Amino acid sequence: MSRIGKQPVTIPSGVEVTFKEGKLNVKGTKGTLVFAPHARVVIKIEDGKIIVERKSEEILDRSLHGLTRTLVANMVEGVTKGFFKKLEIQGVGYRAEVIAGKKLKLALGFSHPIEYTAKEGILFEIDKEKKNIITVSGIDKSLVGQVASELRGLRPPEPYKGKGIRYLGEQIRRKAGKAATAAAKGGA
């Protein structure tokens, strides 16, 4: 039995969960999420808990068991608390600006500013004190991670000066430049 899959997901107060026609609907204070689980996984709702079971002991069923339970738990947490990821912009002249909470205008050292429109259910915020920190928030954990990854991909941190977009707290391995290499060899 999967250690994660066999744990029931507790439904907190204020969250409404229904399972009809092969779709799990989770409705909470922050919004509604819909999930269609794999046909080889059984979802039951009883006594204020969501129980995920598998149909057999095949490898596919075992792998889907823990995954489905985790996805359901993330849905319940998302509609109650929500998820967020923080990104940090480093570089001279690199900055971000939020337009109406849904659009992000980025100056990343290119000849033109980049405009990134948020997907449905995603909000952007810029830290008021530190203008170089972007917060991506939403109720769908996978969507928040995907948008944060796409933003980081617009200008990934480079290894020589560290300029670019990185996750807050991410460590970048730095490389020595030409001058440091020449000095180590004994001059130029």
Q: Tens digits of per-residue pLDDT, 132-146?
A: 999 999 999 999 999
Query: Which residue, chain included where needed, has tokens 């947490």?
Result: 77
Q: 188: helix, coil or strand?
A: coil
pLDDT at 99: 87
pLDDT single digits (tens) 95-124: 999 988 789 999 999 999 999 999 999 999
| Full strand arrangement of the beta sheet holding 32-35 | 16-20, 23-27, 32-35
- Global pTM reads 0.86
Parts of the chain with a pLDDT under 50 = none
In terms of DSSP H, where are the helices of the chain? 59-80, 141-154, 178-185
Distance of alpha carbon 41 from alpha carbon 65, whole angstroms: 7
